[in-house]
Amino acid sequence: MNNDRAPYPAHRLSQKKGVPKWIYFLLVLIGLSAIVYALVVNTSKPEPVAENNNNTVIQPEKPLRTIGQYKVLTSRAFFHNEPDEATRRTAYMVPSNDVVTGLDERNGFIYIEFTNNRGQTSKGWIKRNDLVPLEDWVAQAKEEKPEPRLTQEDINIQLNDARKLLENNQVKEALYIYNYLSEQEVPEAMYNYGNLGLQKKNEEVDCGKAFQLVEKASDKGYIPAKRTLGFLYLFADNTEILKINNYEQCTYDRNVFKGSKLLMEAVLAGDSTAKRLSEELNISSAPDSLEQQ
């Protein structure tokens, strides 16, 4: 008899039915949708706005009102920082064709902001008595042109101011003074205003007008004008010499007789540059510069 027992019967694992594939696909889609939604929500949140810790509120300035238009009456209408005589500045305006607008009036002063044709702006208080309302100026002009109160002392002061401005290479500021004084037919101003035009440092006049101003100054006996005209007549066709002296921008007519005569008049009047020039001409050599020594 065979006592060997058969081994325990093996358990048969029950085989479950497989899950349909479309369910797995659906679960994957749901998971991806959740991830995408989370990303979209996080990125769509607005950034926090930084608080402005500056509590200073800048109030807009009260606009200035126009109280009238004026023209300069006196030979020098000084600017002031305040409507007070003690705050007078060195800057001033002179009579011209410019019309200035008054924006306020206090204590016998009118506040103006003026921009000239070169784009330079000046602000400050000017004495009421140094200005005349535009309507009064026009009314007077119909009868007779109101003449500014210009004394020889005023002329000398303004010419001295213009010289200092030129020395400091402030050509535009100097031209402002020379223009006004040349209209008053002051010889030195006429010469400098025209001479700077010949050297292309004055854009307000062309070569013809500039030469005429120098001629008028010469006719009035201004010695530097005689010297300059003499030089230009003698070296009219020498472009190299004209260029050395900054006169090459314009053309001139050579006239030895006129040039020699004007140069001799300047020499007899004591002009040292004209004397040196005439001496160099006698040895047939040209001067290096016309600058007054």
- Can you give the pLDDT at residue 51? 34
Report pLDDT digits (tens) over 56-94.
322 324 556 788 888 888 888 889 999 999 999 888 888
Q: Of 239, 231, 225, 275, nearest to 256 (Cα)?
A: 231
DSSP 149: B
- Can you give the pLDDT at residue 8? 37
Q: How far apart are CA 203 and CA 184, in angstroms?
A: 20
Q: 30-34, 42-46, 93-97, 287-291: lowest mean pLDDT where?
A: 42-46
Q: How far apart are CA 80 and CA 125, in angstroms?
A: 5
Report pLDDT digits (tens) over 170-202.
998 899 899 989 988 999 999 999 999 999 999
Q: Categorize the per-residue pLDDT at 238 as very low, low, confident or very high, splitting at 50, 70 and 90.
A: very high
User: Which CATH superfamily groups domain 152-282?
Assistant: Tetratricopeptide repeat domain (1.25.40.10)
- Can you give the pLDDT at residue 44? 38
Q: 6-20, 122-136, 224-238: lowest mean pLDDT where?
A: 6-20
What pTM did the predictor assign?
0.58
Topology of the domain covering 68-143: SH3 type barrels. (2.30.30)
Q: Is the pLDDT of residue 122 over 90?
A: no
Domain ranges, ordered by start, for the chain: 68-143, 152-282
Mean pLDDT, rounded, of the chain: 77
Decide which of 118 and 80 is more confident.
80
Assess contact for 179 and 93: CB atoms under 8 A.
no
Q: Is the pLDDT of residue 2 over 50?
A: no
